[in-house]
Amino acid sequence: MGRAVTVAACALNQWALDFEGNLKRIVKSIGIAKSSGARYRLGPELEICGYGCLDHYYESDTLLHSFQVLAKLLESPATQDIICDVGMPVLHRNVRYNCRVIFLNKKILLIRPKISLANTGNYRELRWFTPWTKARHVEEYFLPRIIQEVTGQETVPFGDAVLATKDTCLGAEICEELWAPNSPHIEMGLDGVEIFANSSGSHHVLRKAHTRVDLVNSATAKNGGIYILANQKGCDGDRLYYDGCAMISMNGETVAQGSQFSLDDVEVLVATLDLEDVRSYRAEISSRNLAASKVDPYPRVKVNFALSSSDDVAVPICMPIQWRHHSPEEEISLGPACWLWDYLRRSKQAGFLLPLSGGIDSSATACIVYSMCHQVCLAVKNGNADVLADVCRIVNDETYVPEDPREFCKRIFTTCYMASENSSQDTCNRAKLLAEQIGSYHINLNIDAAVKAVVGIFSMVTGRTPLFSVFGGSKRENLALQNVQARIRMVLAYLFAQLTLWTRGMPGGLLVLGSANVDESLRGYLTKYDCSSADINPIGGISKTDLKNFIQYCIENFHLTALRSIMSAPPTAELEPLVDGQVAQTDEVASKVKHFFRMYSLNRHKMTTLTPSYHAENYSPDDNRFDLRPFLYNTTWSWQFRCIDKEVSKLEQKEEISLVVDTD
Which residues form the catalytic set? 45, 114, 175, 357
| DSSP letter string, 337-389 | HHHHHHHHHHHT---EEEE--SSHHHHHHHHHHHHHHHHHHHHHHTT-HHHHH
Instruction: Provide the 10 A C-beta neighbour count for residue 343.
Output: 23
| DSSP letter string, 4-26 | EEEEEEEEE---TT-HHHHHHHH
- Half-sphere CA count of 633, side-chain side, radius 13 A: 18
Q: What are phi and psi of 99, to 5 degrees?
A: -125, 160
Please give the DSSP secondary-structure letter assigned to residue 79.
Answer: G
Closest CA to 272 of 42, 8, 35: 8
Interatomic CA distance for residues 517 and 44, integer angstroms = 31
Task: Tell me the residue length of the chain.
Answer: 664
Q: Is there a contact between 230 and 268 (Cβ–Cβ < 8 Å)? A: no
Q: Is there a contact between 295 and 191 (Cβ–Cβ < 8 Å)? A: yes
Interatomic CA distance for residues 152 and 154, integer angstroms = 7
Q: Is there a contact between 130 and 97 (Cβ–Cβ < 8 Å)? A: yes
Interatomic CA distance for residues 42 and 32, integer angstroms = 12
Tell me if residue 494 falls in helix, strand or coil: helix
Q: How many degrees, rounded to 5, is the angle at CA 451 between CA 447 and CA 455? A: 175
Contacts of 17 by beta carbon, 8 Å cutoff, 6+ apart: 49, 50, 53, 56, 62, 65, 237
Three-state SS string across 110-149, please?
Answer: EEEECCCCCCCCCCCHHHHCCCCCCCCCEEEEECCHHHHH
Q: Is there a contact between 290 and 365 (Cβ–Cβ < 8 Å)? A: no
Encode burial over 11-38: b for 16+ CB neighbours within 10 A, e otherwise: bbbbbbbbbebbbebbbbbbbbbbeeeb
Q: Is there a contact between 543 and 618 (Cβ–Cβ < 8 Å)? A: no
Do strands 441-446 and 511-512 pair parallel, antiparallel, or not at all (unpaired)? unpaired
| Burial category of 660 from C-beta neighbours within 10 Å (exposed 0-12, middle 13-18, buried 19 and up) | exposed
> One-letter amino acid identity for 556?
E
Closest CA to 570 of 582, 562, 559, 581: 582
Q: How far is CA 266 from CA 22, 30, 68, 210, 262, in A?
A: 10, 10, 21, 23, 10
Which long-range contacts link 92-96 to residues 24+ away (Cβ below 8 Å)?
92/139, 92/141, 92/158, 95/130, 96/57, 96/63, 96/128, 96/129, 96/130
Closest CA to 69 of 79, 59, 58, 81: 79
Interatomic CA distance for residues 240 and 624, integer angstroms = 13
